[in-house]
Amino acid sequence: MRTISFIGSDKNAGKTTALNYVYKKILEESPSGREICITSIGINGEDLDFFDGRVKPKITVRKGSYFITALEHLEEHDNAYDAVHLFSKARFSKDYKLGKCRYDFEAVIEGPNNKEEIMRMKGELKSLFPHVTLLLDGSADRQFLAHPHVSDAFYFALLITPGKEQLEKAMDLLLPLSFPLCRSKETSLIEKEKKEETRSLLFDEKGKLLYHGKEIPFLDENLKEACKKAGESKGILYLNGALSPSLFSFLAPMENFDVILDNLFLYQNVSSDSATKEVFLPDLYLLHPIQVLNLFIRIDEGLGDDAGRIINILPFPADVPLCNLFKDNEISVRLP
């Protein structure tokens, strides 16, 4: 079983358009008999695009493939699918139906909104269809999606507008795509000490654990005190919480530190404060590798002639195909 998540920088970044495109492409180009299932983190079903006021595309579930959604969204689709399985309220926050499409139809897709239920649902789905590919409509603010037990790879939709804050946000979402993975030694240290409730770990250069934090890192004053005590010594800091502007500012001068982020989503809010104008001296790494299959961009027409210049200065990773589903005639998509 493989899980491919779709994430977007904003609600109006074009994620649903990308999902529909890739989903259809997989079914067209994959060998017959490949089992595809689609669901969502929370609900996908807004009517209007906040960006331009147009009607938002719905997810079109395709003939022969599977879907999971809340039971309440299927009242008008009784003849459109065959019921396969019920993820019942005895184990989930609400009833979710697994169905197989008799024909293509537009649907409101809603799945569990937390890691525990998603993992439980994946376990039940795998027992039914061990080789299924699960397409998961997600969001960049659901940090648990980056855990390797949740997602094997991603498609990423990015909104680019003229606003300074939006461009900085795009920069911060793209930068960690090029962060190196931490070394195996540090990975072993972290995996040995990390628990479900772990939010931070601080080690000295010999691997001795100096601090184990269970509070959100940017609110954890004890973590900051432990970092101060480490002083100019070599430190290895693992964060399983956002590298917020205040924490960014606090850590910025600690040039002897290696800062290891659990996943790339933890870097996304850095530019929302003037603190980010400081030079960040620690080396930054990721614990979990992230495979981005494609980057889909949506460009505000207000950028005009500046669009090309801005595209050129954004740190797009060289090894990830980049395309604009709303403009490009030739689309190169890597299929899972």
Q: How confident is the model at residue 200 (pLDDT cuts 50, 70, 90)?
A: very high
Q: pLDDT per residue over 58-114, tens digit each?
A: 799 999 999 999 999 998 898 999 999 999 999 999 999 999 999 999 989 999 999
Burial 192-208 (b: 16+ CB within 10 A, else e): eebeeebbbbbbeeeee
User: Under a CB-based contact definition with an 8 Å cutoff, are residues 38 and 23 in contact?
Assistant: yes
112-138 average pLDDT score: 95
Q: What is the pLDDT of residue 49?
A: 43
| pLDDT band per the 50, 70, 90 thresholds, residue 147 | confident
**Given 3.40.1000, 1.25.40, 3.40.50, 1.10.3470, which CATH number is that of 2-167+290-323?**
3.40.50
Taking the C-alpha atoms of residue 211 and residue 223, their distance in angstroms, rounded to an integer, is: 7
CATH number attached to the domain at 182-286: 3.40.140
So where are the chain's domains? 2-167+290-323, 182-286
Spatial distance between the Cα atoms of 209 and 231, rounded to a whole number of angstroms? 15
Q: Which residue has the tokens 């926050």?
A: 93
Question: Which residues share a beta bridge with 7?
Answer: 156
Average pLDDT for 155-183:
86
Give the rounded distance of the alpha carbon of 117 from its chain centre: 17
pLDDT beyond 60 at 118 = yes
Both tokens of residue 215? 């509070």
Per-residue pLDDT at 299? 84
Instruction: Return the pLDDT at 57.
Output: 62
pLDDT digits (tens, 9 = 90+) for 247-258: 999 999 999 999
Q: Is the pLDDT of residue 276 over 50?
A: no
Question: In this structure, what DSSP letter does residue 65 have?
Answer: -
Average pLDDT of the chain to the nearest whole number: 87
What was the pLDDT predicted at 51?
A: 44
Whether 50 shows a pLDDT value over 70: the answer reads no
**Phi, psi for residue 278 in degrees, rounded to 5:** -75, 155
Would you call 15 helix, strand, or coil by DSSP? Answer: helix
Confidence of residue 182 (pLDDT cuts 50, 70, 90): very high
